[in-house]
Structure 1
Amino acid sequence: MTLNQHLPHDRSLDNSIAVMREGYNFIQNRMDKYKSELFEARLLGEQAICMSGEEAAKLFYDQDKFRRNGAVPKRIQKSIFGVDAIQTMDGDAHKHRKLLFMSLLTPEKQKEVADMVMDELLASVDKWQEMDQVVLFEEAKVIYCRVVCKWAGVPLKKEEEQERAEDFNAMVDAFGAVGPRHWKGRRARNRGNEWIKQVIEDVQNGKLEAKKGTAVYEMAHHKELDGRQLNSLMAAIELINILRPITAISIFVTFAAVAFYKHPEVKKKLQTGDPTYLECFEQEVRRYYPFGPFLGARVKDDFKWKDFYFKKDMLVLLDLYGTNHDERIWDRPEEFNPNRFLNWDGNLFSFIPQGGDDPKQSHRCPGEGVTGEVIKSTIDFLVNKIEFDVPEQDLDFSMVKMPTLPASGFMMTNVRRK
């Protein structure tokens, strides 16, 4: 008798093509088909277990059962994350590196970034008023890039802002891409590594003065568990893993603008300035709209869960998008409703747009807090500091392209101060 004979097996020589065709819905489509919260598939030539839901998330983040090393494909490391970065680490080494990230992204520093974003947005109004058309996504990614570099202590010339913002965006865009988009992301990652590596070395040898406590200083002087200083390339890779995600908040903000435009009653509530509702709104934006599709890990040692066997080294994928739209967790999950978070219990395994569990201890994204603060700051600006018209445009987004974005990037015309 074979193991897991009752576990649904998706019958295909390889499901990789299906992932490309179905995107964010790949796992959920099969959950619905098999009436199961997990199934087995073949991906990139190997067997994998795909799973979804709160219980699956709790299992996935059990560090005694799963490891991240070997789970992130090299093609993704070479574009978005960087080779051998924190996303591939486990155990004490991961906790030590994670403490570095958490120390740089405390609630106070999150608020500092958000305040800087507001200042830059306000300073952009004069320019926007002179423009025939403002594309929010295009403007936001450059503003966020400018802000995060300034906040981190990374020198960035005015004439370089657009190029660096485009490179950070290309790294993110390469996640689910093949062909030209993937290679564009790789080239962007290589350019970014070279740029920031030189900055790190300039800090280390005293050519560039950096303030203690800034991201560039702390990365340049970080020591590993064995006491060795982080080499300049790895320090650059990890610093980019702060700069890139904060620039990528422009994706969430574009979706947020679509949300309040399509739901005028929501915009009215946002205009009251209620901080509780604003937080509920940004959480619902991250729950409702697609960002990360799924995450991978590998089984540490054989174990059994719900009568199914997980074999050592097997690849396991956790469905982020599907869990955030799970009817067992969320009432009417396909409706956009910020009020659902008014009574949310704070469960870190049901709301997982950027991973699950406690970010201090697990692989949940350490930048989730700053993501929320920047979204809130930008939405406050859009609904309370300026007025604008929304011309006819294509606000639809693909559920196949990963990551996705409203097609038009959210165009605004006739921008004026309130």
Structure 2
Amino acid sequence: MSDIPFDSTIPFLREGYPFISSRCDRAGTDMLTTRIALRPVTFLRGAEAASVFYDGRRFTRQGAMPHAIQHLLQDEGSVQSLDGASHRRRKHAFLSLMAPSAMTRLGDLFEEEWHRAAERLHGRKRVELGEVSRVVLVRAALRWSGIPLSSTDVPRLTSELSMMVDRVSRFGPANWYARWRRQGSERWAAGLVERVRAGEISPPHGSALDVFSRHRDDDGRRLSPDVAAVELLNILRPILAVALFIEFAAVALVQHPQWRDAFAAGEDTDLEPFVQEVRRYYPFFPAVPGRVREPFTWRGHRFDEGDWVILDLYGTCHDARSFPDPDSFRPERFRGWSWQEEPYTLIAQGAGRHEDDHRCPGEWSTVELLTRSVRLLAQSGMHLPPQDLSIPLDRFPTGPRNGVVLSIL
């Protein structure tokens, strides 16, 4: 651990998602200390490391994420930047949106928008699944959040939310432009909050627009319109990002036709295990950063206050100790599985428990939307013309190399 390579930026970017776990495997450890962009960093992977990283006491998210990523992905003041009681209170607002009945409504709206899109596109020889899915997801998310479609330029918003996801690891002009476009989304969302408070819009009680327009933090003050806007985007952006999983699910259905045949026949018993395996197997967000809040020692390594630490999400989801034969797509491994019983193994969207830790509350909406889309894809009679469905692991985020093209949706 004392031999720190001068810098691993280029190998990290060249190798992508497997970089951390491949180095850990060679060294027979769950810890790698190196430099990224000349900054000392310790990489961690595995369920035990995830339990340490997400215990709520040792790490903070403040100052952990590069500004170019933070300002594009979440911006300042979001729930992910909070710790302790402040985080729990804000997190409760998000969790209040995720009741089973709310998830069912989101799923129903998604199906409505899916069928509307399918009717509009019927007969087209070429349909970009990711492009169509993003519009469907944004329209469903807006309706579910209590945001009038009439007050929204949906194509523009879809484009801006897409850039927040697609350009998160880009630097220079591409990132700057996406951040500039995000400012437009934030102004739009802040305007919605101000209109609610002025009585000009009355969103359904308990919807995202209603919740964040009314929410008060620990000091008893309502969120500023700017911060409320950030949190609204923290609802809309992750829902759009489910389009990445939908593309992965389509690839899985094509490459494992026995599952497509079963779901097309209405055999839904293994539908959720299939969805969870899609989330585990395919590369989503690669890692999550944190900074040490107070000194501690783990596995003989001393972590000092302020140390930069990055937890390997992809590598943990492909850890053979938790998932035997991790490079095989096996939905049956999730039969009877529960994230309440295993909160540190399947961590594609964070680890820990939703109520207490930084685990993404959008996990429930992801599973709901992905479950609906898998069933719809399987029953659609979709046909994929010859195309390259390989998934490059050296770009963040990634997906099928040229997207997924359908001839029937």
TM range (shorter): over 0.9
| Pairing 1:176–2:162 present | no
Question: Tell me, which stretches of 5 or more residues in structure 1 are unaligned?
Answer: 1-6
- In the alignment, the residues of structure 2 paired with residue 199 and residue 25 of structure 1 have an alpha-carbon distance, to the nearest angstrom, of 42
Please say if residues 55 and 352 of structure 2, whose CA atoms lie closer than 8 Å, have aligned partners that are also in contact.
no
Question: What is the number of residues matched between the two proteins?
Answer: 407
Relative distance call for 1:133 and 1:157 in structure 2 (3 A) is farther
Deviation at 1:269, TM superposition (A): 2.3
- Name the residue aligned to 1:370: 365
**Bigger shift: residues 262-271 or 340-349:** 340-349
Please say if residues 392 and 398 of structure 2, whose CA atoms lie closer than 8 Å, have aligned partners that are also in contact.
yes
Deviation at 1:212, TM superposition (A): 1.9
Q: Deviations over 1:113-169 (max 9, x none)?
A: 011111111222222213221111000000100110111112334982222111111
Relative distance call for 1:345 and 1:111 in structure 2 (3 A) is closer
Relative distance call for 1:252 and 1:8 in structure 2 (3 A) is farther
Relative distance call for 1:159 and 1:56 in structure 2 (3 A) is closer
SS across alignment from 1:104: coil
Aligned counterpart for 1:331 among listed residues 324, 348, 372: 324
Deviation at 1:414, TM superposition (A): 4.1
**Bigger shift: residues 46-55 or 36-45:** 36-45
- In the alignment, the residues of structure 2 paired with residue 390 and residue 159 of structure 1 have an alpha-carbon distance, to the nearest angstrom, of 33
- Name the residue aligned to 1:400: 394
Relative distance call for 1:9 and 1:360 in structure 2 (3 A) is farther
Relative distance call for 1:183 and 1:19 in structure 2 (3 A) is farther
Aligned counterpart for 1:267 among listed residues 251, 260, 266: 260
- Name the residue aligned to 1:66: 59
- In the alignment, the residues of structure 2 paired with residue 183 and residue 259 of structure 1 have an alpha-carbon distance, to the nearest angstrom, of 35
SS across alignment from 2:122: helix
- Name the residue aligned to 1:4: none
- In the alignment, the residues of structure 1 paired with residue 150 and residue 17 of structure 2 have an alpha-carbon distance, to the nearest angstrom, of 37
| Pairing 1:89–2:74 present | no
Deviation at 1:271, TM superposition (A): 2.3
- Name the residue aligned to 1:379: 374
- In the alignment, the residues of structure 1 paired with residue 378 and residue 279 of structure 2 have an alpha-carbon distance, to the nearest angstrom, of 18
Please say if residues 53 and 323 of structure 1, whose CA atoms lie closer than 8 Å, have aligned partners that are also in contact.
yes
- In the alignment, the residues of structure 1 paired with residue 245 and residue 174 of structure 2 have an alpha-carbon distance, to the nearest angstrom, of 20
**Bigger shift: residues 194-203 or 277-286:** 194-203
Please say if residues 286 and 314 of structure 2, whose CA atoms lie closer than 8 Å, have aligned partners that are also in contact.
yes
Taking only aligned residues, the RMSD between alpha carbons, in angstroms, comes to: 1.6
| Pairing 1:294–2:296 present | no
Q: Deviations over 1:366-391 (max 9, x none)?
A: 1001100000111111112x213210
Please say if residues 173 and 181 of structure 1, whose CA atoms lie closer than 8 Å, have aligned partners that are also in contact.
no
Matching residue's letter, 2:407: T
**Bigger shift: residues 251-260 or 67-76:** 67-76
- In the alignment, the residues of structure 2 paired with residue 285 and residue 231 of structure 1 have an alpha-carbon distance, to the nearest angstrom, of 38
Please say if residues 8 and 34 of structure 1, whose CA atoms lie closer than 8 Å, have aligned partners that are also in contact.
no
Q: Deviations over 1:300-337 (max 9, x none)?
A: 11111111111111011100000000111111100111
Q: Deviations over 1:4-54 (max 9, x none)?
A: xxx264412x32333222221221121123221101111233211111001
Please say if residues 170 and 184 of structure 1, whose CA atoms lie closer than 8 Å, have aligned partners that are also in contact.
no
- Name the residue aligned to 1:236: 229
The TM-score, its normalising length taken from structure 2, stands at 0.96
After TM superposition, the structure 1 = structure 2 runs for residues 192-341 of structure 1, keeping only pairs within 5 Å, are: 192-341=185-334
SS across alignment from 1:309: strand
| Pairing 1:98–2:91 present | yes
SS across alignment from 2:41: strand
- Name the residue aligned to 2:156: 163
SS across alignment from 1:59: helix
- In the alignment, the residues of structure 2 paired with residue 60 and residue 367 of structure 1 have an alpha-carbon distance, to the nearest angstrom, of 20
Please say if residues 79 and 188 of structure 1, whose CA atoms lie closer than 8 Å, have aligned partners that are also in contact.
no
| Aligned structure 1 segments of 4 or more residues deviating by more than 4 angstroms | none
- Name the residue aligned to 1:3: none
| Pairing 1:355–2:350 present | yes
Please say if residues 80 and 172 of structure 1, whose CA atoms lie closer than 8 Å, have aligned partners that are also in contact.
yes
SS across alignment from 2:407: strand
- In the alignment, the residues of structure 2 paired with residue 22 and residue 414 of structure 1 have an alpha-carbon distance, to the nearest angstrom, of 35
Matching residue's letter, 1:240: L
The TM-score, its normalising length taken from structure 1, stands at 0.94
Relative distance call for 1:65 and 1:159 in structure 2 (3 A) is closer
Please say if residues 295 and 304 of structure 2, whose CA atoms lie closer than 8 Å, have aligned partners that are also in contact.
yes
- Name the residue aligned to 2:125: 132
Please say if residues 173 and 185 of structure 1, whose CA atoms lie closer than 8 Å, have aligned partners that are also in contact.
no
- Name the residue aligned to 1:28: 21
Please say if residues 82 and 189 of structure 1, whose CA atoms lie closer than 8 Å, have aligned partners that are also in contact.
no
Question: Tell me, which stretches of 5 or more residues in structure 2 are unaligned?
Answer: none
Q: Deviations over 1:260-309 (max 9, x none)?
A: 11111121222243333000010000000000100111111111111111
